[in-house]
Amino acid sequence: MTETGKRPWWQLLWAMVLAVLVPAHVQAADADLTEVGYPAVLAGKPLAFPQDFGAHPDYRTEWWYITGWVQDGAGVERGFQLTFFRVRTLIGDDNPSRFAPRQLILAHAAVADPATGQLRHAERAGRAYPGLAEAATGGTQVAVGSWSLRSDEGVPGAHLAPYLAPYQTHIDADNFAFDLSFETDRPPLLNGRAGFSQKAPDPINASHYYSRPQLRTSGTLKLDGEAFAVSGHAWLDHEWSSEILPTDARGWDWIGINLYDGGSLMLFQMRDAKGRAMWAAGTLGDKAGQARKFTADEVRFEPLRYWTSPRTGVRYPVEWRLHLAGGRTLQLRPLMDDQELDSRSSTGAVYWEGAVRLSDVQPDGGEREIGQGYLEMTGYAERLNM
C-alpha cells in the first residue's frame, strides 16, 4: 500500500483536509457554527442510550478512546490504548458519490512495554466507505480496515439493558496486535453537567462526553508474533463536539484512573500559550455509580518531574501532583517515561499518552497507591490544531 519514499494516499488526503480546514476554522472560531455547517453542543440536551453509543456524523469531530492495563500469566504489566476518530470534513456534502471524503475515520493504537522501555504504536486512516472505514450510528461499530471496535448494544433484543453489552476490539500492527473484550456492569458515567463538558470559560467550547470506567478486560496480546493471554481493566471515553480548541488554548492534560476500590477519577486541565491552566474539571465516581463533579476552582495540576524525548526534543511533565477540593493531594507516576506518540502521519499531532499509577499522599508525606490508568498530554510539541 505504501511505496518506498512516497506517502500513502490517506496521508496525502489528510494533509489536504488539514490545509483546507484548519485556517478557515481558526478564523471562524467565534462564528455561529450553523454558518459553517456544524451543530452546536448544547447544555441541557440529554444523552440517550443506546443511540449515543454510536456516531454523530453531523458534528465536526468525535472519538472512542479506550485505555487500560493488562497482565499476562507471568505477572508482567503493560498499558495499551486505542482510539478511533471520526471527522466531518465539509468536503463533498453535495456530491452523491460514495467516494466523496465527507467523513474521515482515523485510528491510533499503542502498547506500553516496560520490558523494552518502548511504546509500540501504529496508525490507520481512511475516508468513510462501507466495509472499509466506517462509524455507524445507533451503537458502537467503528472500523478502519481490519482494525475495529464493536458492540451489539444497538441491536434490538440483544441485551435487556443496552449498557451491559460488552465491547470487542481487534488491532493488528507490524510488531504488536491485540484482540480484547471489555465487560461492564454499570451504566455510562456522564461528565460535566449531565454529559455537557465545558472546556473553557466560554461555554461555547464544550463537548458531549461520557465515560465507561472499570471495564473488565480479557483476551490476547501479541508482541513480535508471541501471543500472551492477558486480563486487566480498561476505561472508555466517547466524546463529540463541533468546536475547535479555544483561540488562547495550546493543549490539555487529562487522566482517567480506575481506582482499586471500584471507583474512578477523571480530571483535565486546558492550558494557555504560557502553560497556565485556563480551565479544569473532573468527575470522581464510586462503584455504586454516584459521582462527585469538580469545577474549575477545585482542581489544580502541579508538574513535578520532566522527561525530554530523544526523538522530537519535546519536554513533558511525566510526574504530577494533583490538588483537589477539600485538601486531598494525589501523586501521578508513569509506568515508564517514554510514552510519546507521534501521529503526524494521521491526526498531525505529537503528544504523550501513557500508563500511570495514582497514589494518595498522606499528611506525613507517605503514599498509598490507589489506582491505575492513563495520562494524556497535548500541546507540548506545538499548539494542537482541532
Distance CA 218, CA 67 (A): 13
- Contact 1/368 with Cβ under 8 angstroms? no
pLDDT digits (tens, 9 = 90+) for 318-341: 999 999 998 999 999 999 999 998
pTM: 0.88
What element of type H or E holds 333? strand 328-334
Distance CA 257, CA 279 (A): 20
| Residue 2 maps to a domain | no
330 or 118: whose pLDDT is higher? 330
Residue 169 pLDDT class (50, 70, 90 cuts): very high
- The CATH number linked to 55 is 2.40.370.10
| Residue 276 maps to a domain | yes
Q: What DSSP assignment string belongs to 291-304?
A: EEEE-GGGEEEEEE
Return the minimum-mean-pLDDT range out of 58-62, 86-90, 160-164, 305-309: 160-164
Using the predicted structure, report yes or no on whether residue 347 has a pLDDT greater than 70.
Answer: no
- Contact 374/79 with Cβ under 8 angstroms? yes
Distance CA 126, CA 340 (A): 23
For residue 76, give its domain range: 9-377
Determine the pLDDT at residue 289: 83
Residue 9 pLDDT class (50, 70, 90 cuts): very low
Check the CA dihedral 254-372-169-72 and report its sign.
positive
* DSSP reduced 3-state for 77: strand
| Residue 72 maps to a domain | yes
Burial class of residue 19 (count of CB atoms within 10 Å of its CB; 0-12, 13-18, 19+): exposed
Closest CA to 267 of 244, 337, 277: 277
Phi (first) and psi of residue 10, to 5 degrees: -70, -30
pLDDT digits (tens, 9 = 90+) for 66-110: 999 999 999 999 999 999 999 999 987 777 777 778 899 999 999
Determine the pLDDT at residue 156: 65
What lies within 8 Å, CB to CB, of 259 at 6+ separation is 265, 358, 370, 371
Grid cell of 166 as nine digits: 460488552
Distance CA 383, CA 386 (A): 9
Determine the pLDDT at residue 284: 97
Grid cell of 301 as nine digits: 495540576
| Residue 3 maps to a domain | no
What lies within 8 Å, CB to CB, of 17 at 6+ separation is 87, 89, 91, 101, 104
29 or 34: whose pLDDT is higher? 34
> With left for phi above 0 and alpha for psi between -120 and 50, is residue 36 left, alpha or beta?
alpha
| Residue 4 maps to a domain | no
Q: What share of the chain is helix, strand, coil (3-state, %, to 5)?
A: 10, 50, 40
| Residue 271 maps to a domain | yes
Residue matched to cell numbers 519536554? 315
Residue 300 pLDDT class (50, 70, 90 cuts): very high
What lies within 8 Å, CB to CB, of 80 at 6+ separation is 67, 68, 69, 70, 109, 110, 111, 112, 178, 180, 221
| Residue 188 maps to a domain | yes
Q: What's the whole-number mean pLDDT along residues 236-259?
A: 93
What lies within 8 Å, CB to CB, of 233 at 6+ separation is 68, 69, 214, 215, 216, 217, 258, 372
Q: Mean pLDDT, the chain, as a whole number?
A: 87
Number of domains within the chain: 1
